[in-house]
């Protein structure tokens, strides 16, 4: 089983020709609300896209915004452990999606800030704990220590990007970051390869590279996975889909290389639909893409290695 501890937000999404610059007003095309939040997105990806038994620890307010979040998690088959905050509203995110499928996101954490170190449920039966950084850093650090002590593998998606204390890094089994997050966590402005060298205390670091693919550094090797070619509609939630499917695959005991390929396929499919949780694919869709794709040719792998600054 996978335990996700993290954020749940109701996403308010406006599509527009482009993302506004500071001081600019842009007329949008469409407004929609979607269930979101990095933690909830990753939990839905574990349960729906990877069919993994999934639990989630989350905090919600006592307001109508909580209802669609609970409904989406229930529909995906996620078993919830809810901390109900009386002082904070349910978390929200305000997202602008441009016509070229890029996005800009502002989050109001709300009840997500109410998760405390004492809220972690019993860890018996869980293989992995998956967390993000939309909840208090001291809580994330405490959960990591509790999980490590219980023999549960600790996975952190270090998003939104921020510097991480050594006390947290030392508890991680797997760190998942994009290129910007990698630079901030590693305090390095060099290549992906140079940044990875500065995180040698973390056993496995996975770096997503957008339309190029991803790479993973372990103690024994460095793996690269080329991206699956798709026509993007909305990239919101694609990284969360990648994280959830990756951890679910590792929870089933699959090799890291195979888990990276499944996660990459799921993330690519998520880019072809609008919304966060609404864009997460089914196992059948992922299997179909994997069956018919030949994305990981030697030439494309070499291109990913070049992006990483690897020989």
Q: What is the C-alpha radius of gyration for the chain, rounded to an integer number of angstroms?
A: 18
Q: Where are the alpha helices (DSSP H) in the chain?
A: 38-44, 66-76, 137-149, 166-169, 179-186, 192-197, 238-251, 256-270, 283-292, 298-308
Neighbours of 116 (CB within 10 A): 14
User: Residues 196, 218: contact at Cβ < 8 Å?
Assistant: no
Active site annotation includes 100: no
Distance of alpha carbon 132 from the chain centroid: 7
Residues 6+ apart with CB under 8 A from 144: 129, 131, 154, 156, 168, 171, 172
Q: DSSP letter for 304, please.
A: H
127: phi then psi, degrees, rounded to nearest 5? -90, -35
Residues 6+ apart with CB under 8 A from 117: 138, 139, 142, 143, 146
Task: Out of 119, 173, 234, 240, pick the active-site residue.
Answer: 240
Query: Strand runs (DSSP E) across 86-221, as ranges?
Result: 91-98, 103-108, 128-131, 153-157, 174-178, 204-208, 213-217
Rounded Cα–Cα distance for residues 198 and 301 (Å): 23
Rounded Cα–Cα distance for residues 135 and 143 (Å): 11
Catalytic residue annotation = 240
């Amino acid at each position: 089983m996978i335990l996700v501890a993290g954020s749940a937000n109701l996403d308010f999404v406006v599509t527009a020709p482009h993302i506004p610059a500071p001081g600019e007003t842009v007329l949008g095309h469409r407004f929609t609300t979607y269930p979101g939040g990095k933690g909830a997105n990753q939990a839905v990806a574990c349960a729906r896209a990877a069919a993994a038994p999934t639990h989630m620890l989350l905090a919600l307010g006592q307001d109508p915004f909580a209802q669609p979040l609970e409904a989406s998690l229930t529909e995906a088959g996620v078993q919830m452990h809810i901390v109900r905050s009386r002082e904070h509203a349910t978390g929200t995110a305000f997202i602008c999606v441009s016509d070229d499928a890029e996005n800009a996101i502002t989050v109001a954490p709300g009840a997500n800030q109410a998760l405390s170190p004492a809220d972690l449920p019993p860890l018996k039966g869980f293989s992995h704990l998956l967390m993000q950084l939309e909840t208090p850093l001291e809580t994330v650090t405490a959960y990591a220590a509790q999980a490590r002590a219980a023999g549960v593998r600790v996975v952190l998606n270090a998003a939104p990007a921020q510097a991480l204390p050594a006390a947290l890094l030392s508890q991680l089994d797997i760190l998942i970051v994009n290129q910007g997050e990698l630079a901030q966590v590693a305090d390095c402005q060099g290549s992906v390869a140079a940044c990875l060298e500065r995180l040698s205390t973390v056993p496995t670091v996975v770096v997503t590279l957008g339309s190029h693919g991803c790479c993973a550094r372990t103690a024994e090797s460095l793996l690269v996975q080329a991206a699956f070619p798709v026509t993007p509609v909305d990239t919101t939630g694609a990284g969360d889909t990648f994280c959830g499917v990756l951890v679910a695959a590792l929870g089933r005991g699959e090799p890291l290389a195979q888990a990276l390929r499944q996660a990459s396929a799921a993330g690519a499919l998520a880019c072809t639909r609008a919304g966060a949780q609404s864009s997460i694919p089914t196992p059948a869709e992922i299997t179909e893409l994997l069956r018919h794709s030949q994305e990981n040719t030697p030439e494309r792998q070499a291109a990913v290695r070049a992006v990483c600054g690897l020989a």
